[in-house]
Amino acid sequence: NKGKYKHYMQKEIHEQPESLTTTMRGRLLRGGSCKAKTVLLGGLKDHLKTIRRSRRIVFIGCGTSYNAALAARPILEELSGVPVTMEIASDLLDRQGPIYREDTAVFVSQSGETADTLLALEYTLENGALCVGITNTVGSVIARNTHCGVHINAGCEIGVASTKAYTSQIVVMAMLALAIGGDTISKQERREAIIDGLFDLPNKIREVLKLDQEMKDLAKLLIAEQSLLVFGRGYNYATALEGALKVKEVALMHSEGILAGEMKHGPLALVDENLPIVVIATHDACFSKQQSVIQQLRARKGRLIVMCSKGDAASVCPGGGCRVIEVPQVEDCLQPVVNIVPFQLLAYHLTVLRGYNVDQPRNLAKSVTTQ
Ligand code: UD1
Ligand code: M6R
């Protein structure tokens, strides 16, 4: 049932304040004045000790689920102190990459049925690692075959392009980082800031959804373009990959997410006055590096659209000349949850304006059950 919306993708984008609330329900505890703020993931509580002691955490997934894990990687490294590596499921299988008994492997999948992820799970089980699932579908094969896990509880997702599952996956993995991080005193302030940020996140998503019309106007400008580049780094490297994936898969426009630190190692050659480029430059530890990326792109007459934190428009684009998308600022590790929303809206409007099928893009299936 699409209710007041024209398409499932549109409905699922706009219901993110509610889906995120459901994802966090009963899992974030903020007691009375003297009670500490904590996270409780029922499905993991008996396994946290093993996870903390593991030699490495390996995230495994495909497509949007992989991107969600990439977004959560820095905060997991920071809070857990355990090295975190990333595997695209098919690539792990192609390489028969090393997996050890001392590893914790985290399988991220909305459907819980993706063939590549499932085969990677079988491979990982054979190698003796602890297997943790992060799935949206209770009773799915991945939920059943992992040793333990967390349901993201985002509600049924129908649009082929994953939207609300992505934001709920990141939130679950941020909670996972808090749970593994435990209660070290030195990180208490940071943990409490993240928990406060999680409580307030649905409100911030409500705020960023107000950019709907602005993203529709941007889509009108970009409707006839051949290509769109997206530059991000740090917490928002994943946003660049996921934003580009959304535009590519539904609007059928070539789009590429690029790690901004790699700009001078090739991508800079593409820059001219015609190719539209989105630079994600919201406020975090990488901000000044992104400011310098913007300067260098402008020096080459790049056609820039800059995503920045509210109030930063003048400092990201001194003298004007860029189109600016201002988003609400949240705790740095949660910023990818906010920043992806304008890309989802842009991809949606571009698709409708270009006259393509939003919910069922050509050649794609919601759940990829063959290799
Ligand atoms: C569970 C209940 C929830 C109830 C809550 C009350 C289910 C599905 N969930 O939620 O209805 O309100 O207790 O305390 O009945 N699991 C995996 N792999 C996965 C995902 C989950 O093995 O990929 C396992 C977990 O380890 C856990 C079980 O499935 O044993 C349920 O997980 P989850 O729904 O996340 O647990 P709770 O949030 O505690
Ligand atoms: O169900 P899964 O999360 O395992 O699916 C993984 C990918 O097939 C999926 O995210 C795909 O990339 C989406 N169409 C992206 O929107």
Residue recorded with tokens 């949850």: 337
For residue 162, give the ligand 2 atom closest to its CA.
16
Give 325's Cβ-side CA count (13 Å radius): 31
Pocket lined around ligand 2, Cβ cut-off 6 Å: 62-65, 109-111, 114, 117, 160-162, 245, 249, 364, 367-368
For residue 246, give the ligand 2 atom closest to its CA.
16
- What stretch of H or E contains 315? helix 313-316
The string of pLDDT tens digits covering residues 94-106 is 999 999 999 999 9
d(CA 100, CA 126): 10
Which of 46, 106, 113, 151 has most ligand 1 atoms within 8 Å of its beta carbon, as the pocket-test mutant? 151
- ipTM value, please give it: 0.98
User: 3-class DSSP state for residue 32?
Assistant: coil
User: 3-class DSSP state for residue 102?
Assistant: coil
Residue recorded with tokens 């941020």: 174
DSSP 8-class letter at 107: E
Backbone angles phi, psi at 191, to 5 degrees: -60, -45
| Cβ(151) – ligand 1 distance below 6 Å | yes
Average pLDDT over residues 271-276: 97
Average pLDDT over residues 148-154: 98
116 Cα to the center of ligand 1, angstroms: 23
pLDDT confidence bin for 36, thresholds 50/70/90: confident
Q: Output the residue whose Cα is nearest ligand 1's atom 31.
A: 43
| Cβ(39) – ligand 1 distance below 6 Å | no
DSSP 8-class letter at 34: T
For residue 134, give the ligand 1 atom closest to its CA.
23
Say which residue, 175 or 321, is predicted with more confidence: 175
For residue 140, give the ligand 1 atom closest to its CA.
23
Strand partners, 308: 281, 326
Task: Reply yes or no on whether the pLDDT at 138 is more than 70.
Answer: yes
Task: Reply yes or no on whether the pLDDT at 286 is more than 90.
Answer: yes
Q: Which ligand does the CA of 135 lie closest to?
A: 1
User: 3-class DSSP state for residue 360?
Assistant: coil
d(CA 50, CA 98): 19
Task: Reply yes or no on whether the pLDDT at 16 is more than 90.
Answer: yes
d(CA 343, CA 243): 5
pLDDT confidence bin for 281, thresholds 50/70/90: very high
Which of 65, 90, 113 has most ligand 2 atoms within 8 Å of its beta carbon, as the pocket-test mutant? 65
pLDDT confidence bin for 33, thresholds 50/70/90: low
